[in-house]
Amino acid sequence: MTKDLRVIISGGGTGGHIFPALSIADAIRKICPDAKILFVGAEGRMEMKRVPAAGYEINGLPICGFDRTHILKNVVTFYKIMKSRRMARNIIKTFRPDVAVGVGGYASGPTLSEAQDMHIPTLIQEQNSYAGVTNKLLSRKANKICVAYDGMERFFPQNKIIMTGNPIRQTLLSCEESKEEAIRKFHLDPRKKTILIIGGSLGARTMNEAVLNSIVLIRQSDAQFIWQVGSYYYESVKALLEKTGKPDNLVMLDFIPNMAEAYKAADLVISRSGAGSISELEALGKPAILVPSPNVAEDHQTKNTLALTSHEAALYIKDADAVRTLIPSAINTIKDEAKLIKLGKNIKSLAHTNADVVIAKEVIALAESYKGKNRSN
């Protein structure tokens, strides 16, 4: 296996980009324990904390996205892009990678563009069913493109595409607790059906409003609920429930630190439709009701959802309808054992549980080829 392997991994901005990036890095390290891996992220974004916490070095770029509402503000954006490209070039010259990996997000653009201009092989990983602008641009010179959905030749050169699925947090697959033990961790009743509601690490306003709008229905339900409100909304929601009274069958948390336990406890999951969340639901075979966020580029969460509903692998509720219909639909679904079994079976059939290893091997192969050419020159 390649000695002195040097890899740059770039991207971030959200957990949906960071978790796959860390999974790929971990898989590379398992295959090549001596590999040198450097992350490049965007200053001020969550990767600048999450990546060092996972044991990897990271450099930050002053990159940001375009403001589609206030066009004049993009003068500053252009300046930051050019500065980020200069910084990325210096990082590459100093680190001397054998391969560069892009996982999407602001920082991957400057880093991979510079790597491509310097004739360093690049691999991009597209998590969504609708490709992002950055990855579409980078695909022209990329050597390999790892995808998680069929039909991605709409966006990328077909001869470069590899169907790998999305890497997920391996801790989710290695949870050894029983379902009963997991439910008790949340101080709930193992004899009852459990609905898990997650709107992302920061929470989701629409989904929180849907729960608050149905408190009476929740209180009367035979089901029980684990609800991740999100740190941004936690105090305001807590104050509201202190006035109305929190149902005993509802556990409210600002953040769930151990998602493996939460998934294990759940009979039904209500979630946004980020690519990472969907990949986790697929790997675990969890019946799900998906509520795509309307506040994402190219409405890609809706497209992710439709890719599942076309296989009868999830239920879909529009964000605009969620406040009124989400909780009633969840309570009706949790009563239908046949539907839960069908949804779980169908979503499991779409899973790629070894995506991290498959992608890591592709990264290593590109690096080996690059090092071989350099030795022969």
Strands 224-228 and 250-253: parallel
Q: What is the pLDDT of residue 81?
A: 86
- Please tell me the predicted confidence (pLDDT) of residue 67: 63
Helix (H) or strand (E) holding 108: helix 108-117
pLDDT at residue 377, as a whole number: 58
pLDDT one-digit tens code per residue, 287-303: 999 999 988 777 889 99
Distances (CA, A) of 264 to 37, 48, 284: 32, 30, 9
Ordered per-residue pLDDT tens for the chain, 377 residues:
567 899 999 987 666 678 889 999 999 999 999 999 999 999 888 889 989 999 999 999 998 776 666 666 777 778 888 999 999 999 999 999 999 999 987 789 999 999 999 999 999 999 988 888 889 999 999 999 999 988 999 999 999 999 999 998 878 888 889 999 999 999 999 999 999 999 866 668 899 999 999 999 999 999 999 999 998 899 999 999 998 899 999 999 998 989 999 999 999 999 999 888 999 999 999 999 999 998 877 788 999 999 999 999 999 999 999 999 999 999 999 999 999 999 999 999 999 889 999 999 999 999 999 887 776 65
Taking a C-beta distance cutoff of 8 angstroms, is the pair 120, 99 a contact?
A: yes
pLDDT for 174 equals 81
Give, in degrees to the nearest 5, the angle at Cα 107 between 136 and 271.
75
> Virtual CA dihedral for 254, 258, 260, 263, nearest 10 degrees?
-20
Kindly report the pTM of this predicted structure. 0.84
